[in-house]
Amino acid sequence: MKWKYLLLGCGVCVGLCGVVVVAGVLYLGLGIESGRVPDTVALPKSKIHSNTLKTLREMGVIEAQEEVQYFYSEGFLSIEATGNLFTDSRVIAYRTDDEGLQLYAATYPEIAAVDFVPSESWLDDSTLTITTHDGDWFVLFVSAESQGDDLFYQRLLEYWQRAGGGDGGNAEAPRSPEASPP
C-alpha cells in the first residue's frame, strides 16, 4: 500500500516537472515570436518585431523617426538588458545596469573606423568595434548564428560608406559560407 502512494507521488512530481518544462519552452517561443524575448540571431529590418521597436523607443534607445536596420540582443529573457543595432542614421550599443540605461552611439559621419572580429566558436559572439574621429570607441556584439554577424557587418558598412565613411572597415573580410561553424 505504501508503494502505491510513493509511486503516485513520484508520478505527480514527474508530471509537474514536465508541465513546468513545457510551459517554459512555450513561454520562450511565444516571447520570441512576440518580440518580447530576444532572438538568438541578428535580425534584419524585415524580421524585427514591432514590440521590439516599441520597447526600444520607450527605453529611449532610438528616436521615433529612426528606422532600425539590424538588431541583436545578448539578453536571455528581455531585450532591455542589452542590445546592439544600427539605424538609418547611427550605430548604437546599450546596456542596462544598476545605474540605468548606458547608451553608446555614433552617427555615421562621426565614425572613423569599424573593426570586425568574427567569433572563433559558435558559442561566442563576433565583435564590431566602432571608433569615432575624436578617439572614443564602443563595442557591439553580434551572434554568428546563421551568418548574422557577417550580414550585420556588411549592411553596416553600406550605411557608413553611403554617409561618406572610411574604406570599408578592417582588412579582415567576413567569413565565407564554407568557413562557418556548424
Q: Percentage of the chain with pLDDT > 90? A: 60
Residue with grid cell 542614421, as numbered in its chain = 89
Residues 91 and 109 occupy one common structural domain: yes
pLDDT tier at 28, thresholds 50, 70, 90: very low
Residue 10 and residue 54 share a domain: no
What's the confidence (pLDDT) of residue 75?
A: 84
What's the domain range around 10? Answer: 1-34
What's the whole-number average pLDDT of the chain?
Answer: 81
30 plus 70 within the same structural domain: no
Number of domains in the chain: 2
The yes-or-no verdict on residue 167 having pLDDT over 60 is no
The model's pTM is: 0.73
Label residue 126 by pLDDT band (50, 70, 90).
Answer: very high
**Grid cell listed for 182:** 556548424
Pair (126, 58) in one structural domain: yes
Question: Does one domain contain both 80 and 133?
Answer: yes
Q: Which three cell numbers stand for residue 43?
A: 535580425
Strands of the 68-72 sheet, one edge to the other: 43-44, 68-72, 82-87, 90-97, 100-107
